Structure 1
């Protein structure tokens, strides 16, 4: 398990990390979320010793993180961390050797991932000859050549098309199912909601929400109603316990209290037209996120 315990880091007057405490558990995918500049990248770099904490600690399996442990970690930074003029397979071998693997071991692992991600025929190309999406795939392989126990990825889905995003999501799920600890950041909250069991939300260097996503959604006192209808838009202002989250032709999403009169909501919709569908739901991850960073 990866654990942050009261981690703090300042850059001049800016508190990039302000007493951060959270965990990423083995065999699970943890989504690490926050607005731009919230502290996500600083926290990830602290795992690898690229940022020295002012206070607090990062631990792995209950012990301080050392170079031995980091040789079993995989890291995919948001900014390209590879050599653009170096050939793809050559640099994968080099990076794997830095982690202490033998040439033959790294070669087999690299070739397996190149084949899996559709890059076997580009293995001898220079990195800068590849498209952005293929460079992103190579960067992922670079994080996997040491068969890591912990995988930390900073915006891994950036620039990928929908097919490539689905393939990477499946891959991360597979790695977690095999026992790896996976922590990744993303601004694509719909993807995080679909993929992650756990989420950690950071804002201005502080953890504002963390835990099992299902439990976090269930704990919110408000519920949401999605209504699709035919006809004129209902006058939701007549319902005191209803807040309109989104409204457009034929559809409305409403925030209601747990004890709200749902029959009155349906009646208001029927007063203007025909109700096509009605769904009573906990908040989405996007709604959780907005509530957490606005608090």
Structure 2
């Protein structure tokens, strides 16, 4: 079982711009943590500080009770958002070299490289140069580079970018497998449906600050309950001012989405809708992560 990855009060400034402000969260062993935010929110900055690529102005990063130093960073599998492999070098030779840098013997490195390329579906490209691969296969090779040394922590910046659905499934299975082995896994992504499906917990960052943190169910519950009503014309504004209705959103010419308070009488809302025409659908639902993300980021 690995130790938790602990990010504690990281602050990073560039002149007058504060890129991170008191960024704090923990990724537990065996947990897949989704780190989401708009472009420029501070996700990559946080990850680069974890890897020592950037230095924080204040705050600490530790693995368990040990501040991360060069020796511990060797135990991290890192996948940068930008392609980090040498484009003119053969895939197999490059991964072999990286594995040996991490201390594997030549024979063990060759074996693990072959295993990961097979697992990720690009074993037949082992003798191709990186720039001969499609963007999706470059992403698979980049993931293999993060895994060849059997890391104790995985830090992945936009790992699903450019992948087709089959490759997304392969990469998802790999992340779940590593988490099942007790490895803390953190990844950033703009594909919020994927984050919602994969992650045990999610942190939503905006303007360098953590704005929401919890399990997907906790975050969605915090967003309240909505009811989607299809039928009455939205031109009538029939839902405005109803008791227990906290928000009204038009989602189409005959579709109204109302936010409701916990003690709202949904039958009263249904009756009000029926007074303005037939109701074809009346569906209570919890907002998904994408809707919650928009709300948190725009707040």
TM-score by length of 2: 0.91
Partner of 1:181: 184
TM-superposition CA deviations, 1:205-254 (whole Å, max 9, x none): 1111112222232234x311234x45755844444225233512564433
Q: CA deviation at 1:30?
A: 0.5
Specify which of 38, 41, 52 is matched with residue 38 of structure 1: 41
1:4 and 1:20 in contact (8 A); partners too: yes
**Closer, same or farther in 2 for the Cα pair 1:28/1:277, shift >3 Å?**
farther
Long gaps (5+) in structure 1: none
Asked whether the equivalents of residues 236 and 242 of structure 1 are also in contact (C-alpha less than 8 Å), the reply is: no
Deviation string 1:152-192 (CA, Å, 9 cap, x unpaired) is 11111111122222222222122212211110001111111
Q: Which residue of 2 aligns with 1:99?
A: 102
CA-CA distance at 1:281 after TM superposition? 2.5
Aligned residue pairs, count: 293
Q: Secondary structure in 2 aligned to 1:159?
A: coil
**Which residue, out of 59, 66, 70, partners 2:69?**
66
* Structure 1 position 132 matched with structure 2 position 135: yes
Inter-partner Cα distance in structure 1 for 2:89 and 2:208: 36
CA contact (8 A) 1:234 1:271 kept: no
- Counterpart residue number, 1:209: 212
Measured in 1, the distance between the counterparts of 2:298 and 2:121 equals: 42
Does structure 1 residue 87 correspond to structure 2 residue 124?
no
Moved more, 173-182 or 31-40: 173-182
CA distance in 2, matches of 1:123, 1:49: 30
Match of 1:226 in 2: 228
Aligned to 1:245: 249
Of 271-280 and 32-41, more deviation after overlay is shown by: 271-280
- Equivalent in the alignment of 2:258: 254
Q: Distance in 2 between matches of 1:167 and 1:65?
A: 30
Which of 116, 119, 123 does residue 119 from structure 2 map onto? 116
- Report if aligned partners of 1:10, 1:54 keep a CA contact under 8 Å in 2: yes
| 1:77 equivalent among 72, 76, 80 | 80
Aligned to 2:202: 199
Look up the match of 2:282.
Answer: 278
Structure 2 vs 1, CA of residues 238 and 291 (structure 1 numbering), >3 Å: closer, same or farther? closer
Per-residue deviation, 1:271: 4.1
Query: What is the Cα-based RMSD across aligned positions, in Å?
Result: 1.9
Deviation at 1:273, TM superposition (A): 5.0
Whole-angstrom CA distance in 2 between matches of 1:191 and 1:276: 30
**What is the CA-CA distance between 1:51 and the residue it aligns to?**
0.6
Give distance in 2, aligned partners of 1:215 and 1:35.
21
Distance 1:237 1:285 in 2: 28
- State the SS of the aligned residue for 2:55: coil
